[in-house]
Structure 1
């Protein structure tokens, strides 16, 4: 299955030029390899060197620097340099995705934090029909293996910025001598402060020049806007094409880096896609694109929406959880801590009473009301493992945060037109809207996860009152999922645009998912996707990992570390095995992993029980 190199003329564009002049050289010769409207253009191209104490993988921070409890500082807190913003973004994204805590095994049992010198190539790319660009980035290590050309292409998890998959794709691909191509898939942390007229420039620093801002929406009156919610493009509908464009940019970057070895094309270069969460959904969407440009896919805990029995759209189960789960968790024992049950019980009890008043649960007391909410969630497919892990999303208000952003994105609403009245802004201690400070803006790009609240930006709720003040807004969000008015139909149309198809025939795909995932439950996503794909004869495999939930980064919390195993080791192992499969080995088999929680012990291989490769048949 090794690719045969096909020589053809390559247009070696300089970094100051658009790829439009040579887009054809970065595609296979067969016109079916892409849709006819997908001519790619890259703009705002720049390159930088990262060697010595500023490498590609950790910006020189290494394990000790990434484990630091406070982020790298800016010499001027209001005016960071681009290099400072990059280093801090790497710190934030590593900590948000990987378990780097002592005893967790990262860098010793699995994964790599070794310094990788090399170059970065940045650009903006725009899919046809979109009004806003997405960021693409290619890291080319100095040790790029020109005799065994490989690209690992990835998309950020959640709504993270361009470095949002560094711990997933970069940590696996860069030490192996592969180039790694990233996209923020139309989301990211290019916030825009409408009060001050300040956005984020290409290097991640604040800019008062709208022409230099990556995202500067028209018509935003006040507060903060960001691409995922307010681009007007419903970027999730194009996540597969975002991934494809990142891979195309990687071919261009390699031609720039090694002109004597050109051409770099899909015929002569191995391309493996990998992502987790939303990034996992994005690479599965890329898998369905026409042409044989992509060689293999590994999708971890993917947010994927298919038309199949048991499948549920993200917005559907998120708005359901936002309403019912706080009440239901009162009836679930052995919840992980935090959230501290004693502290949140009064709030959850108030939710039960609100639901009863709204006719959404039955019962005359909190115990019976919580049982009613729990029975509804179980009947709708929630497992007890997902509910326990979902306590984290309740405690950190993630359900509401996700629902507010996605309602805006699916409905293509501007920042001041959310159908439920939500806005985003810096907030005071009383949660009232206020102007952002220069110090807050300086860290938005580095510290933000792409969906507020966080990094000094909060959700401004519609008028709140009563013992459960957020309930009216949550009911409005839920009505957009199940209602039939104009706004509901608008949001539902956007959701339908994100429905996934089958992967390309013959493309090897491995899906890895934690059985106890409480944010993107496996029963709603990976299981129906894999079942449908396998029934259609596609080469798709599923690794189910008991005792794994959604957030490796939260394994730094002692109770989470004791009861859950990380998912990243299985993603890396799946990458190893599909890479070996492309060299002639067998395709990994379906597996239910025999993982074991480590309790208070140091994580070791016996806890993980990573699936071993199936032996190749005798020849």
Structure 2
């Protein structure tokens, strides 16, 4: 079940929670440097991966409140246990990592299990679970849930080994080495595990969480032999995650057996209603740029900035009209038509305004490209719309990656290109149907057809989506769902709300905190306009964990359902506890 076990110690300037960086080091705009950019050491890669995952999840900006109003960056010495774990039936393993603090509380025997958010690597929940569990003396177990940043360079024939360093496919056991032969005609660039494993990992995210918890018990047997054996019967296990990690812990909640004691899911991507992530993401990718031009939405957050966005979004309205996807003879009426379609799906205006960020960062296309490949279980070079991934030259054409670029993929990547020097290759941008003023449009139409069409590829992708449909949590399991009402990436109305309704209809007591105004990305609250519009969601996830812990200890009750009316900090002001209006 677990291969390549590695145990490392982290003390004296290299702790579990921040790799010795502390809050100041995490706040640094520059990543921790490599002594040799082409051959970083395993400790250098770990430190940089921790830095990038903290900064990708939490608002660490001065005045943002982290470390003063909520959260912890305590110095936590201890040991890490790492392995590659394989589920029965899976082609490729997922990474598991367990952090055992030296101050592990033998009397309370607590494990916090945390799947990464998004498609991130194995450290992708450290700001969520590590920051809460490690200072309390709990062990924390992480999994990349079959996605992660184990990219494979098809040109060089190199992937990522257990410790994060690049290695040839023939030289070491890699976390991901795709079947496509290196140098095959038409197969080059970068293979991405989430997209190209052929496993549809999202269908198994609940099982990934349980296997990470099993690995934690095994690690504790080795780390604390005087208190062994550690079992699900004598060790408390709490699962927590946000975004995709939130969806993963809800899928874990439905698994049989009395192995899990409580679940806290923040802003979960979960399929429990009529609309799946792929459905609303491909719709948003096409329509949202045009819809955001409708004046009824009011001022949008910045970025994106109007000077760069309006011409592109106007071109999208024209493309949609030419394809018969919106009505109207001018931009204003076309924008109104696009907006009406999104509202009919369930998008609120608040979520649409926050969704402008995903439009500006081309995130809808990134999600759609990767997930179409994953859901259809397509391998390298087999994407039904022709998409791939590669390092790109200034003309956006594929090129070979440099050794320095390749060396940093594992530590710097988010698991879903573009990013960390890996871009999306879209052959339709330069093909016969290319549109000079809106070059991504043909590819997006193809991706949307996989959600709504009747061809073989569309049926294949939708069959993969059906594997994701959630079931109610195990009866009697405490579950708390926390979601921002303004979430513009995973809209509450299309994810948490139908999940909670489904669970309650099945007789489950799921508690639900709806936080407003909160959107999806705490890290972007460092941008002045976002910090003045929204509050962070992470403090509510930590508060829900506090309440769940008190309930399990017998010293408190589960949190009541709540619609929380928070107040963002004024522009230029620091966040204070009063802004959050945390339920008591």
TM over 0.5: yes
Counterparts of 2:289 and 2:564 in 1: how far apart (Å)?
Answer: 30
Q: CA deviation at 1:209?
A: 3.7
1:538-560 Cα deviation digits (max 9, x unpaired): 12110000110000011111100
1:352-390 Cα deviation digits (max 9, x unpaired): 000000000011111111111011111111100100000
Counterparts of 2:329 and 2:392 in 1: how far apart (Å)?
Answer: 37
User: Which aligned pairs between 1:316-355 and structure 2 lie closer than 5 A?
Assistant: 316-331=279-294, 332-355=297-320
The structure 2 residue matched to 1:415, chosen from 355, 369, 380, is 380
1:56-109 Cα deviation digits (max 9, x unpaired): 000000011011111001000000000000000000000000000000000010
Query: Once superposed, what is the RMSD of the aligned Cα atoms?
Result: 0.8
> Which residues of structure 2 form unaligned runs of 5+?
182-186
1:8-29 Cα deviation digits (max 9, x unpaired): xxxxxxxxxxxxxxxxxxxxxx
What does residue 241 of structure 1 align with?
Answer: 207
> Which residues of structure 1 form unaligned runs of 5+?
1-40, 613-619
The structure 2 residue matched to 1:448, chosen from 392, 395, 413, is 413
What does residue 173 of structure 2 align with?
Answer: 212
Counterparts of 2:412 and 2:62 in 1: how far apart (Å)?
Answer: 23
What does residue 66 of structure 1 align with?
Answer: 26
The structure 2 residue matched to 1:84, chosen from 44, 48, 51, is 44
1:599 aligns with 2:570: yes
Q: CA deviation at 1:599?
A: 2.0
Counterparts of 2:562 and 2:428 in 1: how far apart (Å)?
Answer: 49
Please state whether the residue corresponding to 2:498 is helix, strand or coil: helix
Counterparts of 2:343 and 2:104 in 1: how far apart (Å)?
Answer: 49
User: Which aligned pairs between 1:220-239 and structure 2 lie closer than 5 A?
Assistant: 220=181, 221-239=187-205
Please state whether the residue corresponding to 1:424 is helix, strand or coil: strand
Please state whether the residue corresponding to 1:463 is helix, strand or coil: helix
The structure 1 residue matched to 2:525, chosen from 509, 530, 555, is 555
1:567-612 Cα deviation digits (max 9, x unpaired): 0000000000001011122111100112011122210111100111
Q: CA deviation at 1:52?
A: 1.0
The structure 2 residue matched to 1:361, chosen from 326, 348, 351, is 326
Please state whether the residue corresponding to 1:352 is helix, strand or coil: helix
User: Which aligned pairs between 1:87-236 and structure 2 lie closer than 5 A?
Assistant: 87-210=47-170, 211-220=172-181, 221-236=187-202
Counterparts of 1:147 and 1:266 in 2: how far apart (Å)?
Answer: 15
Q: For structure 1, which segment, 463-472 or 332-341, has the greater mean C-alpha deviation from structure 2 after superposition?
A: 463-472
Q: CA deviation at 1:463?
A: 2.9
Counterparts of 2:189 and 2:229 in 1: how far apart (Å)?
Answer: 47
Q: CA deviation at 1:312?
A: 1.6
Counterparts of 2:383 and 2:565 in 1: how far apart (Å)?
Answer: 45
The structure 1 residue matched to 2:483, chosen from 491, 501, 513, is 513
What does residue 7 of structure 2 align with?
Answer: 47
Q: TM-score by structure 2 length?
A: 0.97
Assess if the C-alpha contact under 8 Å between 2:150 and 2:193 holds in 1.
yes
1:441-487 Cα deviation digits (max 9, x unpaired): 11100000000000000000123222211111000000000011000
Please state whether the residue corresponding to 1:441 is helix, strand or coil: helix
What does residue 270 of structure 2 align with?
Answer: 304
Counterparts of 1:554 and 1:422 in 2: how far apart (Å)?
Answer: 28
Q: For structure 1, which segment, 461-470 or 500-509, has the greater mean C-alpha deviation from structure 2 after superposition?
A: 461-470
1:320-344 Cα deviation digits (max 9, x unpaired): 0000000000113210000001211
Counterparts of 2:275 and 2:567 in 1: how far apart (Å)?
Answer: 29
What does residue 500 of structure 2 align with?
Answer: 530
Counterparts of 2:426 and 2:108 in 1: how far apart (Å)?
Answer: 53
Assess if the C-alpha contact under 8 Å between 2:169 and 2:177 holds in 1.
no
What does residue 565 of structure 1 align with?
Answer: 535
What does residue 582 of structure 2 align with?
Answer: 610
Q: CA deviation at 1:212?
A: 2.9
Please state whether the residue corresponding to 2:514 is helix, strand or coil: strand
Please state whether the residue corresponding to 1:99 is helix, strand or coil: coil
1:169-208 Cα deviation digits (max 9, x unpaired): 0000000000000000000000000001010111111112
Aligned residue pair count: 569
What does residue 184 of structure 2 align with?
Answer: none
What does residue 56 of structure 1 align with?
Answer: 16
The structure 1 residue matched to 2:398, chosen from 430, 433, 441, is 433
Which 4+ stretches in 1 moved above 4 angstroms? none
